[in-house]
Structure 1
Amino acid sequence: MKRKITLTLALLCSVLAVQAQNYSIKGNLAGQGNEKIILRGTEGAITVDARNNEFELSGPAGDEPFVTSINTSVDRNLYLGGGKTGMYQPAPPLDIVLSKGAKLSISGSALELNLASVTGDALNDSFTQFRKAEEPLMKQMASLQKQMVESRIMGVKDAMNEIGPKMLENRKAIMDGRKKFIKAHPEAFASLYYLSLTAKDYSAAELEAAYNGLAPTYKNTRYAKGLAEKIASLKVMNSGGPAPDFTKPDVNGKPVSLSQFRGKYVLLDFWGSWCGPCRAANPHLKELYTKYAAKGFEILGVASEKVSGQAQAEKVWKEAVEKDGLTWTNVLNNETGMKQDVVQLYSIDAYPTQILLDKEGKIVAKWVGSGGKELDAKLKTIFNN
């Protein structure tokens, strides 16, 4: 009997320990009805059916806060013409933070899900505060987008001249508002997250100042570490210093390190199979490789694929490498359990981006987009051709 009691207590403690690792969410969204709610959890997407606007979700949480999103199957898309079978602009989801033991509540409207209130812990409270601060501007943006689409459908030719400047002004106001929020709320988790999300809108000095102005509370998270790496990378880029080393798998699964190419001029080509301009630039890269490879020129392609899972990423990447006839070394930045995000390490915000390194691995030049004629001129000067 004593042994049974001991085992029962052990099982109970185990169940309670697992429950303590889980998050739970209860929501009520006006207009949701019995439609589906989709949460991108730590272990993939979770889908539940709402009942009379209400829903519940739960799942395992990671060791640190994880920012993800919730969406709804309620049709919130902005259709760009041709009805619901034509092109459309998807409505933004709701940002939410998952953490161990979090018990969260969501309230608002299904049609304006991205502006819903999420309460239950300080992490999500800060996100709700952030959303409330920019809600008027987000509603203005949605209104302008709707006006633009309606004008196009109606054939109003001067609509862009009238609405376009207002949209640009609105986007600038949103960015300025985010910067003000981050500066005014240094202790908020939302400030850290949105600073990491909008880092490309800051100069290197501005980004470092904004990061240093944040409270240390969340500076051990992946978002803070990513920002610190980005700041360090921007400093290197600006100074023309040595490019950060990295190791990634090639098309055969063999690890390849950037440092292996010391003694050669190396063009880092950040691309993806999905990127039209990247693929369009490949024929000229092939010409350059044929012309200069024997003289000490190397290309290292770093692919980032916009698909779910490594298997699919490898498939589309390898197909593109073969179809485009890329004979230089290519590596993938999507491997499972990624320890180094090279895109983040090199502050890549657009594709293609090309970075030329000298024989010592120092940065010679960087082009957002194809290097084109400037790259041609650099290589011609380097190899006296």
Structure 2
Amino acid sequence: MSKLVTLCALFCLIMSEKVIGQTVKACHIIGNIKGLGNQTVTFFYEQQGIQRRDTVRAVNDHFSYLAKPSDDGIINLQLIPQRFSTIWYEPGTITVAGTMSNAGHLTALGTLENQVSTEHNQQVEWQFEQRMQAHPDSMQALEAQNRKATLAFIKAHPKARTSAWLLGWQMRYDATPIEQYEQLQHLLSPDVQASLQGTDAAKRLTILKNQPIVGRKAPDFTMPDTAGVAVSLSRFRGQYVVLDFWGHWCGPCIKAIPHLKRLQTQYASQVQVIGIGMEAADDKQIWQQTIRKQQIPWLQLSDLKGDKGVIEQYNINAFPTYLLLDQQGIVVERTSDLAVLEQKLKTLSPKP
């Protein structure tokens, strides 16, 4: 009997090792970066909601790193400050190559997703950067060209999570018709749609469909003010309201404050200005200090959720952004230009 138990235990151990061997496969990143020498290479990733960082020391332009799984399957490699290269966490060996003289243009090959991502960089993104450097005065036309090329790339690679990731970013910043985004979302394979990047893209599509644009009612919200008192947007129904989406970290927002002060004074009897701070929880103190330093007189609110919460719900991607709501809470203007807002305010009624 004891021999039978021992054999069963041994069998289970062997099978468990096989299962573990099948499910936990290593992601090995090796690099050959000309000019890197013996410098440090840094890898950023998120695990269980916590931002983590690993470093390895290169030897004669080469490095080796056994990557750890990340929440979103993405690892950001950094060779120089403020420049990152995205690497997908995939089982197998990923070879990163490039030069320090062009450290932002690294190729990552050896696995399917990294191959697709590198193809996008080479065929679309890096070409856009080169054209922008050569023709900085043609930014609008080049951005439209880049947007068209990216959407075509997504359509051509429906089985890649890279496509869902790109689609999510396109929906954040580009003004492509929602119907075109919907078509691309439906073209993604079922596996990609079910991935984290796929579900994020679907969420972004829903946000786009429901965002408060001109002609739509602004969704109600409740957020704490600087003293922690909860304030609801519906409280101001019956008045014109300017929602000023800003942040203490935003230079253009700070620069616009004197102009907005003049407008607030001029239209004080007609319009309620409300500041909505795009701030993280640990920015609360500096947010409040900035309000005092700039002597901002109007109501200030923030849910302290960074780019989530109301900021995400309203699809605010540019700062500052101003929304003018009528007495029924309908958006009558949405702009990042105070001059445009001022012209709209002039149409409300004669100057006081």
Q: Could you tell me the TM-score, scaled by structure 1's length? A: 0.70
Q: Corresponding residue for 2:33?
A: 30
CA contact (8 A) 1:23 1:60 kept: no
Aligned match for 1:373, one of 325, 328, 342: 342
Q: Corresponding residue for 1:41?
A: 45
CA contact (8 A) 2:125 2:146 kept: no
Q: Corresponding residue for 2:116?
A: 126
**Distance of 2:125 and 2:223 partners within structure 1:** 41
Kindly indicate whether residue 78 of structure 2 is the aligned counterpart of residue 71 of structure 1: yes
Q: Corresponding residue for 1:280?
A: 255
CA drift of 1:169 comes to: 6.3
Q: Deviations over 1:337-356 (max 9, x none)?
A: x7x44333323332221001
CA drift of 1:168 comes to: 6.7
Superposed counterparts of 1:1-385, under 5 Å: 24-31=27-34, 32-42=36-46, 43-52=51-60, 53-62=62-71, 65-73=72-80, 92-98=83-89, 102=91, 105-111=94-100, 112-119=102-109, 122-134=112-124, 137=127, 140-141=130-131, 145=133, 163-164=135-136, 171-199=143-171, 200-205=173-178, 206-220=180-194, 221=196, 223-234=200-211, 236-238=212-214, 240-293=215-268, 295=270, 297-304=271-278, 310-311=281-282, 313-332=283-302, 334-335=304-305, 340-370=308-338, 371-380=340-349, 385=352
The residue type equivalent to 1:316 in the other structure is I
Flag structure 1 segments of 5+ consecutive residues without an equivalent: 76-89, 149-162
3-state DSSP class of the match of 1:242? coil
CA drift of 1:94 comes to: 0.9
The residue type equivalent to 1:219 in the other structure is Q
3-state DSSP class of the match of 1:127? helix
Distance 1:330 1:44, change over 3 A: farther
CA contact (8 A) 1:263 1:360 kept: yes
Q: Deviations over 1:294-340 (max 9, x none)?
A: 55x322212225xxx632x223322221112223222336437x7x4
Two-structure CA RMSD over aligned residues (Å): 4.0
**Distance of 2:240 and 2:103 partners within structure 1:** 50
Number of matched pairs: 331
Flag structure 2 segments of 5+ consecutive residues without an equivalent: none
3-state DSSP class of the match of 1:93? strand
CA drift of 1:35 comes to: 1.1
**Distance of 2:300 and 2:63 partners within structure 1:** 48
3-state DSSP class of the match of 1:30? strand
The residue type equivalent to 1:108 in the other structure is A
CA contact (8 A) 1:27 1:55 kept: yes
CA drift of 1:195 comes to: 2.0
Distance 1:215 1:377, change over 3 A: farther
CA contact (8 A) 1:126 1:189 kept: no
3-state DSSP class of the match of 2:213? helix
CA drift of 1:130 comes to: 2.0
**Distance of 2:334 and 2:311 partners within structure 1:** 14
CA contact (8 A) 2:155 2:184 kept: yes
CA drift of 1:170 comes to: 5.5
Distance 1:114 1:261, change over 3 A: same
The residue type equivalent to 1:72 in the other structure is L
CA drift of 1:26 comes to: 1.9
CA contact (8 A) 1:26 1:55 kept: yes
CA drift of 1:59 comes to: 3.5
Q: Deviations over 1:33-75 (max 9, x none)?
A: 221112221123333322331131534522xx244521114x8
Distance 1:47 1:172, change over 3 A: same
Distance 1:115 1:329, change over 3 A: same
Distance 1:139 1:361, change over 3 A: closer
CA contact (8 A) 1:137 1:170 kept: no
**Distance of 1:106 and 1:44 partners within structure 2:** 22
Distance 1:136 1:22, change over 3 A: same
3-state DSSP class of the match of 1:349? coil
The residue type equivalent to 2:218 in the other structure is A
CA drift of 1:193 comes to: 1.3
CA contact (8 A) 1:106 1:116 kept: no
Residue identity (%): 26
